[in-house]
Amino acid sequence: MPYTVMLVDNEAIIPRGLMCLIDWKAHNCCVRAIANDGVDAVHQIQESPPDILITDIRMPEMDGLQLCGWVREHYPGIQMILLTGFPDFEYAQQAIQCGVTDFVLKPTTEKALSAAVDKACQRLQKESRVQKSLLLEQQALLGELIFQSRHSLLYILNKLNDLHIVLPSYYVLSLEVVFRGTLEECTAMLQQAQEVILSCCEGHTVFLVPKSDTCCYAVLSLPEGIDPAELCTSAVEAVEGKTDFLLTIGISRLHKNPLNMQKAAREADDAQKFALYSSQPSVMRCEDLPKLSEDTASALWERLRLVESALENHSGDAALKNMEDLFQLIKAQKIPFSSVCQIALLLQNFCVSLLFSHNLPAEQLTALPTGSMELLENSVREYVTETLSRIGRTEENIDSIIYKVKQYIDQNYSTNLSLDALATMVHLSPSYFSKLFKREMGENLSTYILNTRVERAKFLLRTTDKKAYEIAEAVGIYDPVYFSKIFKKSTGLKPKEYRERSGADEMERKIKS
């Protein structure tokens, strides 16, 4: 992106001459605005601030030095270049105090203007690098406070001061985009949402902290009395009006201690996940979440106890039925997501303890996902199913399962054999069945299926006159080129070469006999 330039002079001929004096594009710049005097420049800067300001000194109403002083106070990132026909020391002293980048004497030469513009661009590049570095450090510190705060208040206050983070009172916002698309598209949607929230919170300090490809946190510094829900609602409405994705925002309570940022993030997550229960996902404040009544809590623990009891009695149907009832109650009562995660963790720990009681390892269990209610529910269902399957299985059962799958593959190698279908056939989850097969057979399921097909193809090449593509289809491989490739990788020969060599070997055996 080229740097934008504003030219300011009360004599119209001067800006026109400057526009033609140098090749702005060659300096990675473009003149976007021309102001008649300092007052006009102020109005235009407030509408759209430029990167570089080139202004005359002597102008009516507001001169160039007054303009530079105002710019330094309100837009310190703008680089300023002064045009003057009077190389006066007093002017120079005032200009330095205003933070002017360079002087250019009138009449202006191409060389002088080019040098001043290049100097301004170099400063912008340097400040951009410094700003990016500072932003990364700010994100890292706030991310540490949100995800794993282990420092003292004094240390945190010193670091916040070093990184120019001022948070006398703040909210944490949890943002998530809802979009049915690819991961790359979702990431782009989140970037759009971040731009919208920054625009709607203009005038307030906002720090963005990454969370995932579709979620992020925003630490919003606001004084008491300003409602963050209004700012967030305007962001959601802007997104719904201009994009094809939905934005949900959860808002924490107001906090003043930076050490409470992790707690604030959990509050924001609870509020944001509440949108999963709502028919109109938008903005939710933590303090507006429904409270968990004693009757609801009692009903939840009763459902959880029924699931655990069914697991202990190896009753799969009852365990899954009670688990479905548990999640239906969770959704109906709009239980905060953090509480749902705790319930799921209790159920996971019970499954682990049950496996240990049967002298079975639990290393194959993965961490619970916390991205959405659907992911969490599916994960818990898989835990329960897996636990039931493993506690009811002996070594003889495992041998029987592997034998059944191998027999099925040997008889149906010409059909479409998928991991999901074979796992369903033996009532196991695909992930666990894949690990079990490799552990027992010493090779992946896909490798075993491929080797079976190649062995059958070798037999057909030796005993029939079928063409290679016909044999490929007969063993369940419908791409002749792929068949030839994997056949050669397995045997070292192309199908035609294998047939010719097999025929020669057979002839030699007949002669010898």
Q: How far apart are CA 394 and CA 449, in angstroms?
A: 25
| Homologous superfamily assigned to 3-127 | Response regulator (3.40.50.2300)
pLDDT attached to residue 392: 67
- How many alpha carbons fall within 13 Å on the CB side of residue 443? 9
| Homologous superfamily assigned to 395-509 | Homeodomain-like (1.10.10.60)
pLDDT attached to residue 301: 80
Q: How far apart are CA 463 and CA 457, in angstroms?
A: 10
Q: Give the number of other Cβ atoms within 10 Å of residue 224's Cβ.
A: 8
Q: Residue range 217-245: average pLDDT?
A: 86
pLDDT attached to residue 97: 66
Q: Tell me the Ramachandran region of residue 392: left when phi exceeds 0, alpha when psi lies from -120 to 50, beta otherwise.
A: alpha
Answer for the pair 238, 200: CB distance below 8 angstroms, yes or no.
Answer: yes
Q: Residue range 96-120: average pLDDT?
A: 86
Q: Residue range 341-356: average pLDDT?
A: 80
Give the containing element (helix H, strand E) for 35. strand 29-35
- Mapped onto helix, strand or coil, the DSSP state of residue 36 is coil
The token pair that represents 501 in the structure block = 């060599």
Q: Residue 95 pLDDT > 70, yes or no?
A: no
pLDDT attached to residue 34: 94
Domain borders along the chain are 3-127, 166-288, 294-391, 395-509
- What is the percent of the chain with per-residue pLDDT over 90, rounded to a whole number? 22
Q: Residue 509 pLDDT > 70, yes or no?
A: no
Q: Residue 493 pLDDT > 70, yes or no?
A: yes
Short-list 359, 355, 259, 363, CA closest to 312? 355
Q: Residue 365 pLDDT > 60, yes or no?
A: no
Q: How far apart are CA 14 and CA 26, in angstroms?
A: 21
pLDDT attached to residue 23: 92
430-441 helix and 373-391 helix, angle to the nearest 10 degrees: 40
Q: Residue 138 pLDDT > 80, yes or no?
A: yes
Tell which wins on pLDDT, 338 or 478: 478
Q: What is the pLDDT of residues 16-56, one digit of tens each?
A: 999 999 999 999 999 999 999 999 999 999 999 999 999 98
pLDDT attached to residue 114: 93
pLDDT attached to residue 398: 61
Q: Residue range 101-128: average pLDDT?
A: 89
Q: Residue range 207-233: average pLDDT?
A: 89
pLDDT attached to residue 366: 59
The token pair that represents 1 in the structure block = 């992106």
**Range name among 59-63, 209-213, 400-404 with the lowest pLDDT average:** 400-404
Alpha helices in 358-429 (DSSP H): 373-391, 395-412, 419-425
Band (127; pLDDT cuts 50, 70, 90): confident
- Mapped onto helix, strand or coil, the DSSP state of residue 7 is strand
pLDDT attached to residue 32: 92
Q: Residue range 322-349: average pLDDT?
A: 82
Band (505; pLDDT cuts 50, 70, 90): low
On average, the pLDDT of the chain sits at 83
| Homologous superfamily assigned to 166-288 | Reverse transcriptase/Diguanylate cyclase domain (3.30.70.270)
Residue linked to tokens 């925002």:
249
- 176 strand-pairing partners: 215, 248
> Which residues lie closer than 8 Å to 340 by C-beta, 6 or more apart?
330, 373, 376
Q: What is the pLDDT of residues 160-207, one digit of tens each?
A: 888 888 888 999 999 988 776 677 777 888 888 899 999 888 888 899
Tell which wins on pLDDT, 326 or 293: 326
Short-list 211, 210, 158, CA closest to 370? 211
395-412 helix and 430-441 helix, angle to the nearest 10 degrees: 90
pLDDT attached to residue 186: 79
Q: Residue range 385-410: average pLDDT?
A: 74
Q: Residue range 459-481: average pLDDT?
A: 89
pLDDT attached to residue 25: 93
Q: Residue range 380-401: average pLDDT?
A: 72
Residue 253 DSSP code: -
CA-to-CA separations, 80 to 48, 52, 57, 159, 231, in angstroms, rounded: 16, 6, 12, 32, 34
Exposure string over 341-357, b if 16+ CB within 10 A, otherwise e: bebbeebbebbbebbee
pLDDT attached to residue 6: 96
Backbone phi, then psi, for 387, in 5-degree steps? -60, -45
Q: How far apart are CA 68 and CA 194, in angstroms?
A: 32
Exposure string over 458-484, b if 16+ CB within 10 A, otherwise e: bebbeeeeeebbebbbbbbbeebeebb
